[in-house]
Chain A
Amino acid sequence: MIQYIYSLIPSIFEGLKITIKIFIITVALSIPLGFFVALCRLSTIKIISKVTQFYIWIMRGTPLLLQLVLIFFGLPYVGLVFNRSTAAFIAFILNYGAYFGEIFRSGIQSIDKGQYEAGEVLGLSKTHIFIRIILPQVIKRVIPPVANEVITLIKDTSLVYVVGIGELLRAGKIASNRDASLMPLVLIGIIYLILTAILTRGFNLLEKKYEYYQ
């Protein structure tokens, strides 16, 4: 039994590496994208705001799985060919960028307009008000919804199997089929649980760090 589990480690480890890679790259790029999306969505220039709204609607209104398939299998028909992992990154970053965008937008909008006005009356510039007064408060408020999204993301990475990328879950499935055993899948489940537990703990610490004010 123990020996069997040992024998699974190398393939599971390979899968885990890919899962973590997709996770980290998506987080690192979709959060800045989301910030940009939020600013565009809140832009006073109508066309920018409308186009952004449309993008968000598409990304949130269709399954990520479908987006992944269309980007990898569909775009080549219009001459855009990506390799598997590029297609996966594009789909994940665009999709999560939209979700983060909405989180940041509602975070920015939740700040009392009195905060802007207090800054204006003191003679601070709009940019200074946004960076020094609004943004720090937004960050505190968006930590919980961002944490939710990030935890969903770690599980969503399993979707890349549809374009044939061998991540964690796929490694488990292959072993499970080969050995006619559910043990690999149980192991995979435990690994996901550990990953989400680490993330949850990390975000809890981050929340604590911002508890010094209300």
Chain B
Amino acid sequence: MLKIKELNKKFKGNLVLNNLSFELNKGEILSIIGKSGAGKTTTLRCLNGLEKPDSGTIQLDNLFLCKTEDEKFSYAQKKELRIFRRRMGLVFQSFNLFPHMTVLENIIEAPIKVLNMDKIAATREALETLEIIELEDKKDAYPCELSGGQKQRAAIARALVLQPEYLCFDEPTSALDPELSKGISSIIKNLSSKDMGILIITHDMDLVRNTSDRVLFMDKGKITKESTINEFVV
């Protein structure tokens, strides 16, 4: 289970995360919705080690990315951070594909380097992932040759190939037209059915309705309301 407890983060005196707490189980899809500036992206960045909170605890089973104990805050060492990152994935809002690499090269870079796979094995894994995500035909394309939806799928494949236990999405439908948004919903649902825990931050209500088990409402850095998807639909 992924557990976030009393997370605080200030940017230049401005409190962006305010005692933020929530939990996410494997196989569950959790959405966080909230206005722009509520601190949603910052939350994901903290969960992926891109931003250090000022205090609080982020815990994946019994592995800590950071913890506050007896009012003392400590952050993971390099090695723990690396293990944490292996279990956690992030699909950026702007995808951040590597423009000088083909889709396939984008995907196999980390398995080769991080999981020590050889190139043949990594390529095999990558092609399998591309098949799930229905992008095999673009494996040799460069990111600049892809549409928004294809870029996103390439970015998802790049995260998936490392087989994380949890995957975060930052506004996954913001760059897509409504037609494609349906596609991403089914991809996300498919992932959670394979026991992956999924965290989506968004303000797309349709996406929330179509995918999520639970919804959290975030405002000014804290969760203001929680509901199951059934309550939410009403």
Contacts and interface: CB of A to CB of B under 8 A. Distances in A.
Interface string B179-200: 0000000000000000000000
B50 A121 contact: yes
B230 interface: no
A117 B100 contact: no
Interface string A94-125: 00000000000000000010110110111111
Counting chain A CB atoms within 10 Å of each CB, the highest count among B89, B100, B159 belongs to B100
Contact of B162 (A118, A122, A125): A122
Interface string A73-87: 000000000000000
A128 B82 CA distance: 14
A213 B99 contact: yes
A144 B135 CA distance: 35
Contacts of B162: 122-123
How big is the A interface, by class?
A: 20 to 34
Contact of B50 (A112, A115, A117): A117
Place the interface of chain B in its size category: 20 to 34
A214 interface: yes
Interface in A115-155: 115, 117-118, 120-125, 128, 132-133, 136-137, 140
Given A213-B144, A214-B144, A124 B99 contact: no
Given A112-B96, A115-B98, A137-B100, A123 B144 contact: no
Contact of A213 (B96, B114, B142, B159): B142
A132 B109 CA distance: 9
B101 to A, nearest CB: 8
Contact of A122 (B94, B114, B142): B114
A122 B109 contact: yes
Interface in B157-192: 158-159, 162
